[in-house]
């Protein structure tokens, strides 16, 4: 916020001094959209977005006062500007949106007696872009804090969900519970994973461009390397929630407790929490190995229970009861998914 305010204020002042036109609004506008989290993205963004804003200004000056601003003309201008920016010029979506924004800003500020300022308003745009890049270079934001926070949030969300699922199925459980677990797992997989991946980004490359992060290049590089494992764990948790939801729909009146499977899911949640903690430096690798051992102990009990259910299903003569007992196949699939997550998160041998 401070960087954005500084960039907007400085760009307005410089544009006023250099161009001497009233209300040089395009300078702070461009500075605001150029200021980014990392220095590297600021340089790239400055080029793309300055071009987009300049294009918008040109379109607005060409249109001038020929079109009155109303619902129809505004809609047509915005649609046409986006078509040109995204489909013809192939600008990224974030940059492409600056074209219609610039068109509307200029149309609302440039009146017939001020059309002569058109060239100077283009200069406003360049000034704003330059100030945005300079502010980002002078006051770069550290990627480390954001990366740590998003990784911690993702790990805790997955661990808490698994523990809730484990507690839930240790008692009679229903589709109402599993539907909520499935929704939360999907949200975590789609949103939190994306947020963490964006925050981590290309850690090593970003650190080379950011003086504040150069001393953290090893930590950022490790986040970059390990983040895919948490992403795969999120997918695995989503698969587990879907499997439980499918099982719950086979027993609409309520599913019988599965204490052993519940303990296994809770142990898996502990492993994910330990993995995220070790990645963030709050616990060490020994804690992760202990969590892996706990998962495998719980897994052995579940495996024995599945084997017993399989034998009953294969030996039972009543077809109806065999169908009921054949759900052991689905439980076996859950165990396989737990194995995949555990193997992926297991630390290398000492």
What's the CATH code of the domain at 225? 1.20.58
Q: Give the rounded percent of residues in the chain with a pLDDT score beyond 90.
A: 32
Please check whether residues 168 and 288 belong to one and the same domain.
yes
Q: Give the mean pLDDT of 110-127.
A: 62
pLDDT of residue 142 exceeding 90, the answer is no
Rounded to whole angstroms, how far apart are CA atoms 169 and 171?
5
Instruction: Indicate the pLDDT class of residue 304, thresholds 50, 70 and 90.
Output: confident
Kindly state whether residue 69 falls inside one of the protein's structural domains. Answer: yes
Q: Which domain holds residue 38?
A: 2-138
CA 145 to the chain's CA centroid = 15
Please determine, for residue 326, whether its predicted confidence score (pLDDT) is greater than 50. Answer: no
Q: For residue 325, what pLDDT band results from cuts at 50, 70 and 90?
A: very low
> CA gyration radius for the chain?
28
In terms of domains, do 45 and 120 share one? yes
Dihedral (CA of 202, 206, 212, 216) sign? positive
CA-CA distances (angstroms) from residue 123 to 81, 128, 258? 21, 9, 69
240 and 174 part of one domain: yes
Q: How much is the pLDDT for 181?
A: 96
Assess whether pLDDT exceeds 50 at residue 321: no
Domain ends where: 81, 107, 138? 138
The arithmetic mean of pLDDT across residues 271-286, rounded, is 94
Q: Is residue 150 part of a domain?
A: yes
Question: Which pTM does this prediction carry?
Answer: 0.68
What is the pLDDT, as a whole number, of residue 136?
Answer: 73
Question: Does 246 map to a domain?
Answer: yes
Query: What does the pLDDT read at residue 323?
Result: 44
Q: Does residue 179 share a domain with residue 37?
A: no
Contact 346, 231 (CB under 8 A): no
What pLDDT does residue 183 have? 96
- Looking at the fold, whether 134 and 148 belong to one and the same domain comes out as no
Domain membership flag for residue 41: yes
* Cβ atoms < 10 Å from Cβ of 148: 21
pLDDT in tens, 48-58: 666 766 676 66
Between residues 167 and 27, the one the model is more confident about: 167
131 with 188, same domain: the answer is no
Mean pLDDT of 107-124: 60
**Domain membership flag for residue 87:** yes
Residue 22 has pLDDT above 70, yes or no: yes
One domain, residues 132 and 163 = no
Residue ending a domain, choose from 121, 138, 155: 138
Q: Is residue 264 part of a domain?
A: yes
For residue 113, pLDDT over 60 is answered with no
Lowest-pLDDT range, 8-12, 138-142, 272-276, 341-345?
Answer: 138-142
Q: For residues 186 and 178, what is the distance between their CA atoms, to the nearest angstrom? A: 12
**Mean pLDDT across the stretch 74-101?**
73
Judgement on whether residues 253 and 214 belong to the same structural domain of the protein: yes
What's the chain's average pLDDT? Answer: 79
Instruction: Identify whether 350 is part of a domain.
Output: no
Give a yes or no: residue 268 inside a domain: yes
How many domains is the chain partitioned into structurally? Answer: 2
pLDDT at 107: 65
Specify whether 213 is located in the same domain as 263.
Answer: yes
Length of the chain: 350
Which of 64-68, 254-258, 345-349 is predicted with the least confidence, judged by mean pLDDT?
64-68
150 and 290 fall within a common domain: yes
Q: Are residues 126 and 241 in the same domain?
A: no
**Beta pairing partners, 173:** 255
pLDDT score of 95 more than 70: no
Per residue in 100-122, is it b (16+ CB within 10 Å) or e — as a string?
bbbbbbbbebbeeeeeebbebbb
d(CA 307, CA 13): 76
Last residue of a domain, one of 138, 167, 187: 138
Q: Are residues 172 and 278 in the same domain?
A: yes
Phi-psi region of 126 (alpha: psi -120 to 50; beta: other; left: phi over 0): alpha
Q: What percent of the chain has pLDDT over 70?
A: 69
């Amino acid at each position: 916020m401070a960087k954005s305010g500084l960039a907007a204020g400085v760009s307005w002042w410089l544009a006023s001094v250099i161009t001497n036109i009233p209300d040089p609004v395009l300078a702070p506008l461009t500075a605001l959209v150029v200021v980014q989290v990392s220095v590297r993205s600021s340089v790239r963004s400055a080029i793309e977005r300055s071009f987009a804003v300049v294009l918008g200004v040109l379109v607005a000056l060409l249109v001038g006062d020929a079109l009155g601003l109303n619902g129809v003309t505004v809609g047509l201008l915005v649609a046409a500007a986006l078509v040109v920016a995204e489909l013809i010029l192939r600008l990224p979506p974030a940059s492409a949106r600056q074209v219609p924004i610039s068109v509307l800003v200029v149309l609302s500020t440039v009146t017939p007696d001020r059309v002569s300022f058109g060239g100077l308003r283009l200069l406003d745009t360049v000034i704003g872009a330059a100030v945005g890049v300079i502010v980002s270079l002078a006051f770069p934001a550290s990627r480390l804090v954001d990366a740590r926070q998003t990784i911690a949030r993702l790990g805790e969300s997955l661990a808490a969900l698994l523990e809730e699922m484990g507690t839930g199925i240790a008692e009679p459980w229903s589709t109402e519970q599993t539907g909520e677990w499935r929704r939360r797992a999907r949200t975590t997989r789609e949103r939190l994973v994306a947020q963490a991946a964006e925050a981590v980004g290309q850690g090593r490359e970003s650190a080379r461009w950011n003086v504040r992060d150069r001393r953290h290049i090893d930590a950022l590089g490790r986040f970059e390397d390990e983040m895919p494992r948490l992403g795969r764990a999120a997918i695995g948790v989503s698969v587990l929630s879907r499997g439980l939801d499918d099982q719950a729909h086979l027993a609409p009146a309520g599913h019988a407790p599965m204490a052993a499977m519940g303990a296994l899911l809770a142990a898996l949640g502990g492993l994910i929490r330990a993995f995220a903690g070790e990645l963030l430096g709050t616990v060490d690798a020994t804690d992760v190995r202990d969590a892996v051992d706990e998962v495998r102990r719980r897994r052995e009990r579940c495996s024995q229970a599945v084997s017993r259910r399989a034998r009953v299903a294969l030996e039972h003569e009543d077809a109806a009861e065999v169908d009921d007992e054949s759900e052991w196949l689905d439980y076996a699939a859950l165990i396989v998914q737990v194995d995949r997550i555990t193997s992926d998160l297991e630390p290398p041998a000492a």
